[in-house]
Amino acid sequence: MLSVSDLDVFHGDAQALDGVALEIARGEIVAIVGANGAGKTSLIRTIAGMHKPSRGRIVFNGTEIGGRPSHQVCNLGIGQVAEGRQVFPTLSVMENLAMGALLPRARAAKARNLDRVFAMFPRLAERRSQAAGTLSGGEQQMLAIGRCLMGEPELVMFDEPSLGLAPAVVQAVLQTVADLNRDGLTCLLVEQNVAVSLKLAQRAYVLENGRITLTGRGDELLADDRVRQAYLGL
């Protein structure tokens, strides 16, 4: 579904990604693991069209998308649940969800997708008229995921979905990722909780200083001594 090859990205003179290559097959959960500053968010934002690569290719469902504007990337079927949730705080829950359905690809399915989001997150239905900025962190994360789903994506990129959330809420959010994947959604997961993300993912890549240094099945990397020492403190 998604193929990234020889990807270089610079922020000014600083190189954020160096020759990154990865693949995601339809129906997979693929995790990107790495320390803060390794380039994980730069990778997601480059795929999403928010950063322009200086070299390399990004191909989604056979279409070259590297360097395309983000609204075109979204309309091709790539959704993003951004780090920090990024809801519109002064807009209501319903208004935030409606923003997600503005994509041409999603307009015809707006009612069906809204029913799906409210079935998945009943609390959002209860708070549909409430300003998003007054929701709890967990509720805002539900809203961010729901808004993404309103865009009818085929691939969703989750950037640190558990960041700043209480442990019980973290489990619920990551279970949502697993449930969406079970329902057929392809997922790219960047998550600070390395152990959980590797358990969830069919495959994973380790990103260090802008380069892919390890790749394999999630359970293989979870058992790898280098990963255990660097990221799990074992």
Tell me, what CATH number does 220's domain have? 3.40.50.300
| Within-domain flag for 62 | yes
Per the domain annotation, does 2 fall within a domain? yes
Report yes or no on whether pTM surpasses 0.85.
yes
Using the predicted structure, report yes or no on whether residue 233 has a pLDDT greater than 80.
no
Q: Where are the alpha helices (DSSP H) in the chain?
A: 40-47, 70-76, 93-100, 110-120, 122-126, 137-149, 167-182, 194-200, 218-223, 225-231
Q: In the block, which residue shows the tokens 């959980």?
A: 196
- CB contact at 8 A, 18 and 210: yes
Report yes or no on 116 lying in a domain: no
- The residue with greater pLDDT, 34 or 4, is 4
Residues of the domain holding 214: 1-74+191-234
On whether residue 155 sits in a domain, the answer given is no
Say what the pLDDT of residue 126 is: 96
> How many domains does the chain contain in total?
1
For 164-217, the pLDDT digits (tens) are 888 888 888 889 999 999 999 999 999 878 888 999 999 999 999 999 999 999
Q: For residue 100, is it within any domain?
A: no
146, part of any domain: no
What is residue 234's predicted lDDT score, i.e. its pLDDT? Answer: 53
**Does any domain span residue 166?**
no
Is the residue at 18 inside a domain?
yes
Instruction: Report residue 35's pLDDT band, with 50, 70 and 90 as the boundaries.
Output: confident
